[in-house]
Amino acid sequence: MIKVMLYEDNPQLREGLTMLIDGSDGYCVVAAFSNCNTVEDDLAAYEPDVILMDIDMPGTNGIEGLKRIRRSQSDVKVLMLTVFDDNNNVFEAIKNGANGYILKKTPPAKLLEHISEASTGGAPMTSAIATQVLKMFSVMNRTDGEDYNLSEREKEVLQYLVKGYSYKMIASEMYIAIDTVRSHIKKIYEKLHVNSKSEAVAKAFKDRLV
């Protein structure tokens, strides 16, 4: 059962998403809120697997809520759910550790698929946003001479992360144990000075590491 926590200020949409997720096999909404004012307490109380996070909310907005989540919890998966697909929001979300970025108009079946994908280590994005992300990083300045001393094995793991592979998929492709994958990824995070997969992928694009 994938435990989902929802932040959405529109009451009709919040109720609709709750009904959709709760009514689907393998998913449950443990809590739903109109803003992120008490996000740290919410995390501790409900221990969700995946958070659906609106960006444009009164009080504590989604980007600030995401920052607060990442200061206290690096493992929970956070999907930004929004009507906005502009570059600034995409970049801020990824830079601050979002696991995916999807639009509110995403069809219900696809939304559930994205939640499931995120829960297993994937990084779901709608195709339009993925295209924006690639364009955004392609025009960013490269940091000259910065290779972070990644080993060839670590670079290989990073390449799979960029492709959106889960830990299990990486282990299968590289014929290694999942614990070995976790060990490699921990070292990659330390060398890149990041705290999440999305940050690692962002830096990999920015500095042309893959």
32 and 130 part of one domain: yes
> Do 23 and 104 have their domain in common?
yes
Domain count, the chain: 2
Residue 142 lies in a domain: no
Same domain as 51, residue 13: yes
Q: Which of 136, 137, 186 is nearest to 158 (CA)?
A: 186
The tens digit of pLDDT for each residue in 148-193 reads 889 999 999 998 888 888 889 999 999 999 999 999 999 999 999 8
Q: Is the pTM of this model over 0.75?
A: no
Cβ contact 92:55 at 8 Å = no
Of 99, 103, 91, 169, nearest in space to 134 by CA: 91
- CATH code of 166's domain: 1.10.10.10
- Tens digit of each residue's pLDDT (9 = 90 or more) over 8-59: 999 999 999 999 999 999 999 999 999 999 999 999 999 999 999 999 898 8
Query: Is the predicted pLDDT of residue 145 greater than 60, yes or no?
Result: no
d(CA 95, CA 202): 7
Q: Residue 191 sits in which domain range?
A: 152-206
CATH number for the domain spanning 117: value is 3.40.50.2300
In a domain, 22, yes or no: yes
